[in-house]
Structure 1
Amino acid sequence: MKPLQQLSTIIAEVKEQTDWTDKLTMQTNLIDEVGLDSLQLIQLMLKVEEQFEIQMDFERFDYDHMLSVEAFLSFLASLGARFTEVEEHV
């Protein structure tokens, strides 16, 4: 599963809306377009930490990291996120 797919699955869980697994793109704004409220943002961060095996560095975290999925994934990569690039076989 690619990082975009992993993140979209997490967002779908947090938002309790399965359609996010299909409509999230690298350009999606995580605040304005996804519409995460403060509780959902905390849930997202906790799930991201678990999924990508990182500790969020909130001193380095900035609102700009949420302006796109691409920016958020880059931030996670800078923290040493472990993205699984294994192709799924059906």
Structure 2
Amino acid sequence: MGEAVEERIKAVLAGVLANGTEPAEIPHDADLVDEYGVDSLQMISFLLGIEDEFDVELDYDNLELDDLRSVRQFGRFVTGLVPAAS
């Protein structure tokens, strides 16, 4: 998994948070819900942003809450969908 995937995920997350958080300030292992308080509407915006950023359709049936716990974990999930993205 490339660090580039995680950086792109952090950029999408920072845009959704819209609170002045810079992508570089988001640790790879930060819990998206517990540390950033991502609510359900923000999560939907985040997932739609990921679909746009990586030009994929997420498989919501196979997406687990644990996949969304950190940038690193979600990066693995996204990389599994788009191996060329890494």
Q: Work out whether the TM-score is over 0.5.
A: yes
Q: Distance in 2 between matches of 1:82 and 1:6?
A: 14
Q: Per chain length, whose mean CA-contact separation is higher, i.e. which structure has more relative contact order (CA < 8 Å, sep 6+)?
A: 2
The residue that corresponds to 1:39 in the other structure is: 41
Seen in structure 2, the aligned counterparts of structure 1 residues 53 and 20 have a Cα distance that, compared at 3 Å, is same
Structure showing the higher helix proportion among its residues? 2
| Unaligned segments of structure 2, at least 5 residues | none
CA distance in 2, matches of 1:20, 1:33: 15
- Normalization by structure 1: what TM-score? 0.81
TM-score, reference length from structure 2: 0.84
Q: Which runs of 5+ in 1 are unaligned?
A: 86-90
- Residue identity (%): 25
Which entry has the higher C-alpha Rg, 1 or 2? 1
| Pick aligned residue for 1:66 from 65, 68, 75 | 68
| Distance apart, 1:59 and its partner CA | 0.8
Paired with 1:81 and 1:52, the residues of 2 have a C-alpha distance of 11
Of 6-15 and 48-57, deviating more is 6-15
Paired position in structure 1 for 2:15: 13
**Residues 5 and 79 of structure 2 are in contact (CA less than 8 Å); yes or no, is this contact kept in structure 1?**
no
Matched residues, number: 84
Q: Give per-residue Cα distances to partners, 1:34-88, cap 9 Å, x unaligned.
A: 21111000000001001011101011000110122111010111112653x7xxx
Retained in 1: the 8 A contact 2:12–2:50?
yes
